A and B are shown apart, each in its own frame.
Chain A
């Protein structure tokens, strides 16, 4: 009985995952990809630039900071709207 209940619960979970719409499935991509990309810029700026005393890599730092900050500005209200919608 416990096994059947568990199966039912898991199948609901799985069904729930596939019934998500494209915009909801894309949410983690929209949120995390810019963060990863900006970290890549920071890595290049710090590892190949600042640690070697090369200030030419300031541009990478600027682009990384812009991508991260700019995305946070629009992602926070987006996530708020997302969770509000999920509650409904």
Chain B
């Protein structure tokens, strides 16, 4: 690989990461029964198609099984994009949007930002900036949450996101953990407050587009 191609591959990965923030478009589609069912099916089917593709790639059943931008260690395991997709799908389907939105935004922007800063400014600065950025996403989403959750939830979320980025496992990618750790932590808190009948969630921040008359 020539140096220009290496630089391109590097920024290609970063751009794909940021691109994945578009999954949030899920929440803007009109909330009509058949559209709700369709978008849930699209999420599941998309992940299933890429999972099958990845299995075929790993087993070298595809003629050109080398995918541009994949790292060497991803040669014999699922590519990180699939982990991202699985994480985003779990969040979109099973978590309230107040937890899912900042988690997905964090994975889309905090992960590449930390990756860039880690090599340029060192780990400490990178994780501090990552924490701050993640705190910003959670704070905005949880602005209308009842006190003290408007303060506690963003800190827990940002902490979870940074832990998800720091912790490295061979078979589980950080793209999955950076989304799921904050979501699971806040999800547990949500269930506990639910059991105690305490208001926890803020109001929704994305409202579906009103369905056009011909669609209903």
Contacts and interface: CB of A to CB of B under 8 A. Distances in A.
Contacts, number: 103
B214 interface: no
A8 B15 CA distance: 36
A63 B206 contact: yes
A34 B8 contact: no
Contact of B11 (A21, A56, A58, A81): A81
A53 to B, nearest CB: 15
Contacts of A56: 203, 207
A53 B9 CA distance: 45
A60 B207 contact: yes
Nearest to A72: B18
Q: Which of B28, B67, B112, B204 has the most CB of A within 10 A?
A: B28
Contacts of A60: 28, 205-207
Nearest to B23: A37
A13 to B, nearest CB: 23
Contacts of B22: 33-34, 37, 67
Q: How large is the interface on B (under 10, 10 to 19, 20 to 34, 35 or more residues)?
A: 35 or more
B98 to A, nearest CB: 10
Nearest to A48: B210
Interface in A57-88: 57-60, 62-63, 66-67, 70-71, 73-75, 77-78, 80-82, 84-85, 88
A34 B18 contact: yes
Given A33-B22, A37-B25, A63-B24, A57 B207 contact: yes
Contact of B109 (A30, A66, A88): A66
Contact of B14 (A23, A48, A57, A74): A74
Nearest to A70: B109
A77 B209 contact: no
B18 A75 contact: yes
B69 interface: yes
Given A23-B69, A88-B4, A71 B19 contact: yes
Closest 7 CB pairs of A and B: A59-B205, A78-B11, A78-B15, A74-B18, A81-B8, A23-B68, A70-B109
26 contacts: A22-B67, A23-B12, A34-B18, A37-B25, A40-B28, A48-B210, A57-B207, A59-B140, A59-B141, A59-B207, A63-B101, A66-B109, A67-B21, A67-B24, A70-B18, A70-B109, A71-B19, A71-B21, A74-B14, A77-B11, A81-B8, A82-B8, A84-B8, A85-B4, A85-B8, A88-B4
Interface of B: 2, 4-5, 7-12, 14-19, 21-22, 24-25, 28, 67-69, 101, 105, 108-109, 112, 137, 140-141, 203-207, 209-210
Interface of A: 21-23, 30-31, 33-34, 37, 40-41, 44, 48, 56-60, 62-63, 66-67, 70-71, 73-75, 77-78, 80-82, 84-85, 88
